[in-house]
Structure 1
């Protein structure tokens, strides 16, 4: 039976958006995955080092799934609900979770880690990454690229200027890494098809990924949400495209 707009809205507003687990969207939204398999790459790097730092770990799900972890493994996170979730998940695996404001400096000494990782960081402080990496150490990160899911963003906010659409370009990341003294050894980018199958999936996504439509609330966008619900009911899934890039950079040994 087709669920009503009000039912879908109420359901999506009531569910928790803690952590970085998107399993609630199973069957309601789909997203192509990048071909490089970030978690597998992360696992391979973790297996070769003695110390690792995962920055902006979210709820710790990606790091936990990439184990076994090095003897010294630390994760940072700023959002209190995620700190609690990551602690519950990562402490039994031997990792320490550190509350950090995602502002420089990182709360670690120089050359503390062989490997620094981060999946979808919101901010990247390249000088700090270079500082805490030991000689020959590696930074591996999958990041959100330019104009990601902008079909959805612009549905609610209208056309965005070119400087906004170009934000988080992989070429800029590579230049910033080089500026911090790191050698970029891998840089890949892809645009991937994403489908939202009901309006509840859209609401959940925008509640969880809060920077897509800043200040998003159902109340503010209710009319626009209803129009999109009717469009999905009439035409099928709302299609957008996520932008992802992989960057691996190495500190001179």
Structure 2
């Protein structure tokens, strides 16, 4: 999503026009350029893509887990002699293959909840940007002794203003899922030493209802099973609220994981 506010670019288009446009927009990959001028999200201060690129430049064999469309890995200035990525969603898999193969990286089809299809100790660097659920046992298994897991995770209660607008107040276990300290404990139990763990809460703004719809279609775990038809009336109410009060404000949470295999 855009990192600086530009205000709404939708003029006086109707509710139905905005929904039609958002439903027609492609959702594969992690390219958020569609949101330019229509939504903003602050970026974490640590600059994950840049830091990941620096580490890739020093690695000999790397694995990017749940690479999406390969956009973050593909933006690295250089890749290791052995560079591999996994992805489970077919549209993303095709996009990542087209982007990363010319860079010499291999893209492997692998479901999010499946064991990683690699031998023990195959990589000295494992990376991931926003994995659905990090499998620390598998990450530790494919890392060489002394190897590094470097990732940016989605934190607890991320974008919960939207979640609870559509789904109502969530139970405590859902609200507290993805807590950094819980993930630290899971990583350590798998044999990883957490070298650094940083967390930030970041402001988001949605300037029109089309941006909300496209976001919910693209980031499918925010409101599972979301469709415009199922949520038309809450969407209409939110559209009117944005016209009356201005942008819908939410907050994302992120944490930076830097861990080493003992």
TM-score class, shorter-chain normalisation, is over 0.9
Partner SS state of residue 173, structure 1: helix
Match of 1:217 in 2: 227
1:24 corresponds to 2:34: yes
Identify the residue that residue 241 of structure 1 maps to in structure 2.
Answer: 251
TM-score, structure 2 as length reference:
0.95
Greater CA deviation, 85-94 or 121-130?
121-130
Residue in structure 1 matching 2:55, options 10, 26, 45: 45
Q: Which residue matches 2:6?
A: none
1:174-217: per-residue Cα shift (whole Å, max 9, x none)?
Answer: 10110011100010000000000000000000001111101100
Report the equivalent of 2:171: 161
Residues of 1 paired with 2:210 and 2:20: CA distance?
Answer: 8
CA-CA distance at 1:161 after TM superposition: 1.2
* Aligned mates of 2:53, 2:151 — CA distance in 1: 12
CA positional deviation for 1:66: 1.8
Task: Please tell me whether residue 89 in structure 1 is matched to residue 99 in structure 2.
Answer: yes
Structure 1: stretches of 5+ with no match in the other structure: none
2:157 to 147, 153, 158: 147
State the shift of 1:17 in Å.
0.4
Q: CA deviation at 1:163?
A: 1.2
Cα separation, 2, equivalents of 1:28 and 1:103:
33
Consecutive aligned runs of 4 or more in structure 1 exceeding 4 Å deviation = none
Q: TM-score if structure 1 supplies the norm length?
A: 0.98
Whole-angstrom distance in 2 between the partners of 1:4 and 1:36: 39
Partner of 1:188: 198
- Of the three residues 148, 172, 187, the one matched with 1:177 is 187
Shift of 1:3: 1.0
| Distance (whole Å) between structure 1 residues aligned to residue 134 and residue 251 of structure 2 | 23
- Aligned residue in 2 for 1:62: 72
1:127 aligns with 2:137: yes
Aligned to 1:226: 236
**Which residue does the alignment assign to 2:118?**
108
| Structure 1 residue 104: Cα displacement | 3.8
SS in 1 for 2:230: helix
8 Å CA contact retained: 1:104, 1:125: no
CA shift at 1:44, angstroms? 1.1
SS of 1:220's equivalent?
A: coil
Q: Deviations over 1:31-60 (max 9, x none)?
A: 000000000110111111111000000000
Report the Cα offset of residue 84 of structure 1: 0.3
Q: Residue 13 in 1 paired to residue 23 in 2?
A: yes
**What is the deviation of 1:135?**
1.4
Provide Cα deviations, 1:2-21, integer angstroms capped at 9, x if missing partner. 11111100000011101111
